Amino acid sequence: MNPLGLYAPGTSPLHRAPAGPKLLVLLVVVTLVVVRSDVGWLAGACGLVAVGYAVARPPWARVWQVARLLLVLAVFVGGLQLWLVGPQAAAVTVLSLVAALAAASLFTLTTRIDAVVAAVERGLGPLRRFGVRPERLGLLVGLTVQAVGTLAAIAASVREAAVARGAGRSPTAFAVPFVVRTLRHADELGEALAARGVGDEDADERTG
């Protein structure tokens, strides 16, 4: 797994679309699915995201990773919500969760993190005169969005391994490997960022 993201190269219209507008669309979609409580509208949002996957045509293995995690979350969260607050609220919560996570994962599959950083840097360039570092904010935004897909892939892989060992119902069999692999990924991410020179500017300023 690439510690800097889950980008899947391709030539689809979504791959070719500029990173900035795609990021804005993602933010709008996530905001709407969070604030809306209409089941029909949320189901339509899920369908629209599914169409996006069909257009992007990412590798089936990547799509299956996302689908497995969403299925596990839908069953767990949906069951809990159904027991606590009833079917209507459960449906709203599950559909919102599925639409938001699926949209974020689609963004990571079709957008390079370098393109996200560059888009945010261009958009926030005028703020540089006030001491803001657009490149840092761009990297933060890119890594935040990419983290959704990365953690989804880790969770799906750990869940599959637990089921293969016959420990699919054990919380410990999932939680412990998930935490270990997440920390390992964080360490790999730190090494990858260091290799790209992230943080060197601060060190130069302190020693300059």
126, containing H or E segment: none
Asked if residue 22 belongs to a domain, the reply is yes
At 36, is the pLDDT very low, low, confident or very high (cuts 50, 70, 90)? confident
Domain count, the chain: 1
What contacts 90, CB < 8 A, 6 or more positions away?
78, 79, 81, 82
Give the structural domain span for 134.
Answer: 13-199
**pLDDT above 90 coverage of the chain, percent:** 13
What contacts 81, CB < 8 A, 6 or more positions away?
89, 90, 93, 94
**pLDDT above 70 coverage of the chain, percent:** 63
> How many CB atoms are closer than 10 A to CB 48?
13
pLDDT in tens, 157-169: 776 777 777 766 6
d(CA 123, CA 138): 9
What's the confidence (pLDDT) of residue 66?
A: 80
pLDDT in tens, 115-142: 877 877 777 666 666 666 666 666 666 6
Asked if residue 60 belongs to a domain, the reply is yes
Asked if residue 207 belongs to a domain, the reply is no
More confident residue, 69 or 203: 69
pLDDT in tens, 51-66: 999 999 988 888 887 8
Phi, psi of 145 (to 5 degrees): -70, -45
pLDDT at 9 over 50: yes
Asked if residue 2 belongs to a domain, the reply is no
Asked if residue 167 belongs to a domain, the reply is yes
What's the confidence (pLDDT) of residue 12?
A: 93
d(CA 141, CA 43): 27
Phi, psi of 5 (to 5 degrees): 140, 175
What's the confidence (pLDDT) of residue 204?
A: 47
If we measure between CA atoms, which residue out of 135, 176, 40 comes closest to residue 95? 40
- Please tell me what DSSP assigns to residue 172: H
Asked if residue 194 belongs to a domain, the reply is yes
pLDDT in tens, 96-110: 988 988 898 898 889
